[in-house]
Amino acid sequence: MHVRWISVSLLSVCLVLLYGDCVSGQQSSPIVVIDGLGSVQGTRGRTAWTDREIYKFYNIRYAEAPIEQQRFRNPLPVRPWSGVYNAVYPGKPCPQLGLNGTSDSTAEDCLTLSVYTQNLTANRPVMVYIHGGSFVVGAASHYEPDYLLEKDIVLVSIQYRLGPLGFLSTGTANIPGNMAMLDMIMALEWVSSYIRFFGGDSTSVTIFGESAGGAAVSALLYSPLVRVDLFHRAIIQSGSIFSPWATCKSPREGALDIARRVNCDRPVETMEDCLRSVPALRLMEAYEDHKNTQFNITGYPDVSGACIVIGEASPFMPKHPKTLARNAFRNIELMAGTTSQEGLMFWEGVYRYGLSFKPENIQSSWELLQLIDTINERFGANSNDGSHSWHQIFNTFLSTEISRANFTELLPGLVDICGNLAIKAPVLQDVTRFAHANAGKVYLYSFDYSGTPSMYNFSSADGFNYPYRNNSFHAEDLFYLFPLGQRLDQRDTEIAKTMVGLWTSFAIYGRPMAAALHHNWNPVSHFHGPYLKINEECAELQNYFNEFSASTDKARHQRSTGSLFRLPTVTLALALSYSIMRHFV
């Protein structure tokens, strides 16, 4: 990001230092002095429901610009600055298709974070948000504090390098991969060192993220590079290091393919120099081409350039977490969960980019088997003996549904299978591992509310439909934690208040609580529960495996009651940002 400076008089700076509380109450915008770094000027805002005043500091640098020879390298801590850093306006996101229209290298100067607080002299628990978006889109400034700061916490939202700028790996020390994960660690180091100047307690930090952000949180739980005191609680939303799209199976081969697409196909040393000179957006376009092609040929595991590297030259994740012994897990309180219809977005990716035939035309159980085989292949879960596919078919569909092979009738089951492979089973991997290692400290949920805002824009014009109602799709829980440009009606607002209560109470006390809960939400005590079903009436249930058929169960009920209808078209303020995310993650 370009550093935007404002001029202030020497008298103003002296007054800030004189009063010692690090904020100038005499100015319309707050100024904070960060010992060892410099001063930042923010702005003021109000919360959504009680109109509490809050302070907003946008896009504060936590690392130096990763440009020129520093591209693809580990982040460097930000150097102190003179003058007052302008943190009044949301800055630009890291380079990504659709949002950044420039190939100027200054666009890569984006390693920033935003801080939101109510009281600059307090000592309140801190929540650090890691945004999702397939590791290729997103920005800190999308996630405003208007809901979460109704409670007494400090919110931090961070940015990290995206796509190949953050994840490309040639398997060498020059471009080892996982640069974005090291960005996140450096941002957490910044929070640990400096959040006290914004009224935050560095000894009570909760990291949370959704989708790719959830996978990042999951990965940070297992990395040996993460100091135990950098965070103290974690919330994983709809993502996991165990998700097939989160890690790279063949990072070097993917890097070579991307290099070929930008005319850098040459010996490794000169290839790496060439890749450093390629405009950022051209690299992003090459990654998109690589992803679309590779996903259609084989599937997620062979897509590289925007996924976490295991082993290789990067020290971030030397071994896959599945190999860790019980005593290797950090002692931490964890909350994790999914939405009911996670799989629709992933089924859409398979439908549009992963099939060589139109699934609407299937007419027999044999063709259904072929379709399920293809889905498993795309998610890296295929087996030559067919046992996996047969198990999914007979645990998802009724024998009469298999015989009829009616696509509309089978569609919810396809959504469930995709969601289980991409999100639900992987999240359950995190939950069961940590619940086994940290008894009484792990909470599991399923978000099942269907409200006014929707993440999906259905129309018959593009040929993709889902004619079932009362759904909670991937990422729709975010509408009730952040004001993402949507309007909430009274019913939606009550859900948002419940979500904010659960998330912030967990961050404050390590135990999720909300007024809408009539009973305590108990921690996971056995292999599959208990878990909280979050809806207008929240209920604690015992068997999370029932969520593996959530779409199928809803659809059968609607067909039996004759309440089936096509979903209306819904327009989103953030449609541009999520259009790429919906592609796969």
Collapsing DSSP to helix, strand or coil, 335 comes out as strand
Contact indicator for 567, 467 with CB cutoff of 8 Å? yes
Collapsing DSSP to helix, strand or coil, 208 comes out as strand
Beta bridge partners of residue 519, listed in sequence order: none
27: DSSP letter: S
Core vs surface per residue 543-553: b (16+ CB within 10 A) or e: ebeebbbbbbe
Element (H, E) at 67: none
Query: Where does residue 268 fall: left (phi above 0), alpha (psi -120 to 50 degrees), or beta otherwise?
Result: alpha
Active site residue 202: no
Question: How far is Cα 457 from Cα 575, in angstroms, rounded to an integer?
Answer: 8
CB neighbours of residue 562 within 10 Å: 7
Question: How far is Cα 17 from Cα 67, in angstroms, rounded to an integer?
Answer: 34
313: DSSP letter: T
If you write DSSP's letter for every residue of 119-153 in order, what string do you get? Answer: -TT--EEEEEEE--STTTS--GGGS-STTGGGSS-
83: DSSP letter: S
Query: Where does residue 562 fall: left (phi above 0), alpha (psi -120 to 50 degrees), or beta otherwise?
Result: left
Q: Which of 108, 144, 272, 342 is catalytic?
A: 342
Contact indicator for 504, 515 with CB cutoff of 8 Å? no
If you write DSSP's letter for every residue of 355-388 in order, what string do you get? Answer: -SS-GGG--SHHHHHHHHHHHHHHTT---TT-HH
CB neighbours of residue 357 within 10 Å: 11
Beta bridge partners of residue 532, listed in sequence order: 445, 540
User: Which backbone phi and psi does 40 adopt, to 5 degrees?
Assistant: -130, 140
**Which tokens hold the place of 233?**
């609680």
CB neighbours of residue 102 within 10 Å: 12
Question: How far is Cα 354 from Cα 377, in angstroms, rounded to an integer?
Answer: 10
Question: How far is Cα 258 from Cα 130, in angstroms, rounded to an integer?
Answer: 26
Q: Which of 211, 304, 314, 340 is catalytic?
A: 211
Question: How far is Cα 397 from Cα 79, in angstroms, rounded to an integer?
Answer: 59
CB neighbours of residue 404 within 10 Å: 15
Active site residue 211: yes
What residues are annotated to the active site? 211, 342
